[in-house]
Structure 1
Amino acid sequence: MPVTLGEEIMLLSLDDESGAAKNRQAAGWAVAGGIVLELVLAGRLSVDGGRFTVTDRTPTGTGLLDERLGLMDAWAARKSKPPKVTDWLTRDHDRAVGATIESLRARGLVHEERQKVLGLFPVRRYPEADGAAEREVRERLDSVVLRGVDPDDRTAGLIALIHAAKLHGLAFPGRPAREMKPRMEKIADGQWAGDDVRRAIRDMQAAMVAVTVATTVVVTG
């Protein structure tokens, strides 16, 4: 089964050798956002006006997505109106990261290492086990952003999430963000896409900006 958007972002975040997550907080928001957008593209959710609705409960066949879909459906059923995407991301992003890493481990793309910091505090790291999936992601990003190839819906959504979460350095290490931003902004604007996909990507991008800005204010405050 194809690697999902959330898994792709997680692969970009995890250091290949040490297995430590880089830009962990922003990447976590983007991973959770990627799962939501993947479900929109799969026709299981609709996002409009910053709120989501479960439109199809049929399993996708991908465990990571189906688990999140079930959780979102159960949570939304307790609300009097469609929940805000930002509220869901705030609620789920930590758990979504854990579920995404476990999915990558089950696929054999990373492996788990248990270590102790200062000989006392247990930590888990997830170094690369199979780099083929990450290489494919980076090649796709390079072809669209650096070489001007037209994106498909999933790649455009991935770029919009990376751009909104300010993860340019993860996607294009060693390149100044200012070189990437104009092209990424154009892709995120989504003029090439159909109305439903364009609206979903814009709403998801707005949600990502909202939660990352709010988090930054809390941390720096």
Structure 2
Amino acid sequence: MLIAEDLLLLAFDDTEGKPVSGIENLDQAVAGALLLELTLLGKVDVTGEADGGKAGRIVVRDATPVGNTELDAALAVLDGEQGAKPQDAVARLAKDDPVDRLLSGLADRGVLRRESRKVLKLFPVTRWPAADSRHEEQLRAELHRVLDEGGEPDDRTAAVIALLVATKSVEHALPTDDPKATRKRAEQIAEGNWGGDAVRKAVDEITAAVMVAVMAAVVITTS
């Protein structure tokens, strides 16, 4: 399961099959998740002083395919976007409608159900209710252990939490009895040294880029 797919499972209501209230601009969030996962895999990085040229730009360190269709497609796009700012790379990946593709993939694997219908018998809509919630239940249990019980996360769990923080989705995706405490713990993890020193700067740049991309999408949508 990809980090981006985990993000979608948390974002979508299991019964209604649509994003829970308060979660928007998922294409930008999912694009950032793909970029972040490639970074944690050592495929993509953000340039530093040792690279020459402008620092803080996207660079592909290893273009060898990962073996996952979505990650390999994103890697190919980024290989043609080297030198872009992280927020521009996120925006570019978001243009390819990653949410619809990932939701379809989850449905093909039996994790979600694809339900197509027409609203008012005119407007076609697709809903994605849960079909097999076992992975999501494990994910939520792990997030509960980390955020509510003070457990230490692995890099994958920390990445999911950092993306929820970047998109301001913690309370919406993870409702708890004490949302303020949950959000505070999530922010502490997002700002921590997960991922290791070698990719820390890139992680910070990419999560910040996701926030910028999501906020830019909000401005465009509401203007």
**Which TM-score tier does this pair reach, normalised by the shorter chain?**
0.7 to 0.9
The separation in 2 between residues aligned to 1:155 and 1:101, in whole angstroms, is: 20
Contact 1:8 1:134 in 2 (8 A): yes
Q: What is aligned with 1:62?
A: 68
CA contact (8 A) 1:27 1:167 kept: no
Question: 1:87 is matched with which residue?
Answer: 88
Deviation at 1:26, TM superposition (A): 3.5
Structure 1 position 98 matched with structure 2 position 100: yes
Q: Is the 8 A contact 2:167 2:210 kept in 1?
A: yes
Structure 2 unaligned spans of 5+: 48-54
CA contact (8 A) 1:190 1:198 kept: no
TM-score between both structures, scaled by the size of structure 1: 0.88
The farther-off stretch of 206-215 and 154-163 is: 206-215
Q: Distance in 2 between matches of 1:24 and 1:194?
A: 29
**TM-align CA RMSD:** 1.9
Give the TM-score of the pair, scaled to structure 2: 0.87
Q: Distance in 1 between matches of 2:175 and 2:69?
A: 31
Cα distance in 2 between the residues matched to 1:110 and 1:158: 19
Once residues 53 and 67 of structure 1 are traced to their aligned partners in structure 2, the CA distance between those partners, rounded to angstroms, is 16
Contact 1:153 1:197 in 2 (8 A): no
Structure 2: how far apart are the matches of 1:21 and 1:33? Answer: 18
Q: Which residue of 2 aligns with 1:141?
A: 143
> Matched residue of 2:24: which SS?
helix
* 1:169 to partner: Cα distance: 2.5
Q: Deviations over 1:106-134 (max 9, x none)?
A: 22211211100111011111111110111
Amino acid at match of 1:56: D
More helix, by proportion: 1
1:40-76 per-position Cα deviation (integer Å, ceiling 9, x unaligned): 1111111245422111122212222112112222x32
Counterparts of 1:66-215 in structure 2, within 5 Å, are: 66-73=72-79, 75-76=80-81, 82-93=83-94, 95-175=97-177, 177-191=179-193, 193-215=195-217
Tell me, in whole angstroms, the C-alpha distance in 1 between the residues paired with 2:215 and 2:178: 21
Q: Say whether the 8 Å CA contact 1:141–1:171 is kept in structure 2.
A: no
2:50 matched to which residue of 1?
Answer: none
Query: Which structure 1 segments of 5+ residues have no match?
Result: none
Find runs of 4+ consecutive structure 1 residues off by over 6 angstroms: none
Amino acid at match of 1:183: R
Q: Distance in 2 between matches of 1:194 and 1:12?
A: 25
Q: 1:120 to 1:25 in 2, by over 3 A?
A: same
Q: Work out whether residues 169 and 177 of structure 1, in 8 Å CA contact, stay in contact via their aligned partners in 2.
A: yes
- State how far apart, in whole Å, the 1-side matches of 2:105 and 2:86 are: 23
Distance 1:198 1:93 in 2: 23
Residues 182/208 of structure 1: CA separation in 2 closer, same or farther (3 Å cut): same
Q: Give the distance between the partners of 1:193 and 1:32, measured in 2 at CA.
A: 19
SS at match of 2:28: helix
Length, aligned pairs only: 214
